[in-house]
A and B are shown apart, each in its own frame.
Chain A
Amino acid sequence: MSWSESEIAALVEPDRVHRKAYVDPGIFDLEMERIFERLWIYIGHESQVKNPGDYYLARVGRQPMMMTRDRNGEINVLYNRCPHRGAQICSARKGNAGKLFRCSYHAWMFELDGRLESVPGVKGYEGTRFDAANPAFHIRKAPRADNYRGFWFASLAEDGPDLETHLGRARLALDQLVDRSPDGEIEVVGDCFHMIQQSNWKIFLENQIDVSHPGATHESTGAAARSVENEMKRDGEDPPMSYGFLSDFVRHGIDGWDKFGTTGLPQGHCTLEGYMGLRPDDPDTNEYVRRMYESYGEEKTEEILGVDLHHVLLYPCNSVQPPLQQLRTIRPLGPNRTLSEIWHFRLKGAPEAIYQRSLAYYYLVNSPSTMVNADDLFNWWKCQHGLESNAIEWVSFHRNAGQDSEKGGIMYSAPSSMSELPMRSMMQAWKGYMTANGAGA
């Protein structure tokens, strides 16, 4: 069906959302058009393309894109499509193109910033409308590409708020990722893990800041980790700190997660407070803090490390965990299919042990063998199935509805609650983007 603006708006009520927002193919197409091909979407980190000729593929909405480093050292975001007959320019997910891109079909050659360099047998175009100087015959550039502290984003809309305005206060997540490095620099580690979620992209975002799920969803993993920890202690061994990342799931029971507040921003960004106590008093952490003091002084260091956020959602595509140097990005493939890329970073100048901490989390929570996301992904798949049924038309976000407070344009969850504020807040932003031809919010 085609959707009028009032029909779309009617899908989102203050405390509940209609299931069609998650399953309808027409809604999905409009989301691609009005959200993913309009807002600032994450492409990648500058350290993924270190050298001239390096490229890395990314998907923005339905568009195949790539990030390239040109011979001047500049980063470009291009459509991965030959202007001649449409062939993909790069077919490997990453690599180095050398000095020029060469289309495999007819050997049109392009500069690394997309400009047409040469066409074999160009004589045949004499007297035609082909014009090598016309950008229509170059690899098309993203209408807008920009970075914030080395994190590259593209917007496929010619105009709209700039990147910093779009990120708003949520840019703190990216500041935190970089500022936690004693050298003020970070570097992506290896390639990312890729996982296909057999569920709608919004279900992923909602889960990331859902404090009422970990104790229930991850009970089995928390309990197993706790039992191994206890056994090791009994045998006089020291369980690795990373086991605590898992046993934390049973530390607060199912309903003891009301200590961790959430916020929502008008752009759809959200935050969840940290709960993992990632600044223990151990020699590695102390050495790290010492190096931070050396670089930034005590006051600034405390300001940086004093921010304890477990998740920051950069709407509509990122989930960032600054104290663990993780960044996930989602690429919707269909109403019930979402590709996730999970990246992690090394803090330059930090002791190796701090990286190992991040790596342990990356492994336990986000690797293809994870015992944590296994249960999330399964829940999301089950939700997607349930929402395809019309047994009940609404998804409930009633927890602490009407009790959110607002200050300076930020919505805060009710004190001591496991409020569904972030879900409500994201869906209000969604409604804004999806109506008024996407000019809302």
Chain B
Amino acid sequence: MGAAAQKLAAGDRFSAARVSTETQLAVERFLYRQAEILDEKQWDDWLALFAEDGHYWMPVTEDQEDGEGVPNIFWEDLNMMKMRVRRNNHPQAHSQAPENRLCHVVSNVIVESEDPNGDVVVRSRFHCAEYLRYDIRNFTGRYRHYLRKTADGYRIALQRVDLVNREGPYEYVIQWWL
């Protein structure tokens, strides 16, 4: 099991740490910015949110503790994310023509833990509407972010996304991260 997955698994997802207003604000700003980057399709900025060894993870079951080696809805490192960006923007990516649009609302931001070095584990809830093929779909669920503090602000070591409808069935597929 990777260190980042261990960190989330060891955390208590019902806990709330006493953090400074600055930390709370910085974390919230980070999450809002991530949502905006997705909604506005700023893909270079998206990739830059992640640590070199960072992962975006959407498990299939709630009791999963790791994304490695087991079935997932998403389990992507930077190389896979680059591939997805290039593929969805490829002129022959006909299922992205017309392009979808996403709109996120992120809320209920609670910092679970803050390490002495400034790393945090934070959970939040999101709602995301996707407009695709003249129709709207809705996704909602829980985020848990393990954010590493760097001189340059936070970087995502691991983002876990638990959809409320994780077992599906899915109408069509999810082409962009949620």
A interface residues with partner B (beta carbon < 8 Å): 93, 189-191, 193-196, 198, 217, 219-221, 223-225, 227-228, 231-232, 239, 243, 246, 339, 344, 352, 356, 359, 362-363, 367-371, 373-375, 377-379, 381
Docked-complex contact A190 and B70, CB < 8 angstroms: yes
Q: Which of A194, A198, A359 contacts B69 (CB 8 A)?
A: A359
Chain B residues lying within 8 Å of A221, measured Cβ to Cβ, are 87, 93
User: Which chain B residue lies CB-closest to A367?
Assistant: B73
Partner of B72, one of A93, A227, A367, A377: A367
B14 at the interface (CB under 8 A from A): no
**Closest Cβ of chain A: how far from B61's Cβ, in Å?**
7
Main secondary structure of the interface of A (DSSP, over half): helix
List A contacts of B61 (CB < 8 A). Answer: 190-191
Given A190-B71, A367-B71: A373 in contact with B83 (beta carbons within 8 A): no
Which of B4-12, B116-124, B145-153, B169-177 touches A? B169-177
Inter-chain CA distance A189–B64, complex, in Å, is 13
Residues of B within 8 A of A (CB): 58, 60-61, 69-75, 79, 82-84, 86-88, 90-95, 133, 167-175
**CB of A391 to closest CB in B, whole Å:** 20
Query: CB < 8 Å: which of B58, B74, B94, B169 contacts A195?
Result: B169
Q: Which of B73, B83, B169, B173 contacts A228 (CB 8 A)?
A: B83
* A352, closest chain B residue (CB): B69
30 contacts between A and B (CB under 8 A): A189-B71, A193-B170, A194-B167, A194-B168, A195-B168, A198-B171, A220-B94, A221-B93, A223-B86, A225-B87, A227-B83, A227-B86, A228-B83, A231-B82, A239-B79, A243-B83, A246-B83, A359-B69, A359-B70, A363-B71, A368-B168, A369-B74, A369-B173, A369-B175, A370-B173, A371-B83, A371-B88, A374-B172, A375-B95, A377-B95
What separation, in Å, do the CA atoms of A378 and B96 have in the docked complex?
9
A363 touches B171 (CB 8 A): no
How many angstroms between the C-alpha atoms of A232 and B88 in the bound complex? 20
Residue of B nearest to A217 (CB): B94
> Are B84 and A371 touching (Cβ within 8 A)?
yes
Question: Whole-angstrom distance from the CB of B133 to the nearest CB of chain A?
Answer: 8
Q: Which residues of A contact B82 (CB under 8 A)?
A: 228, 231
Contact at B173–A374, with CB atoms within 8 Å?
Answer: yes
- In angstroms, Cα B172 to Cα A378, docked, is 8
Residues of chain A contacted by B133 (CB below 8 angstroms): 381
Question: Which residues of chain B are within 8 angstroms of A198 by Cβ–Cβ distance?
Answer: 171-172
Task: Indicate if the CB atoms of B73 and A369 lie closer than 8 Å.
Answer: yes
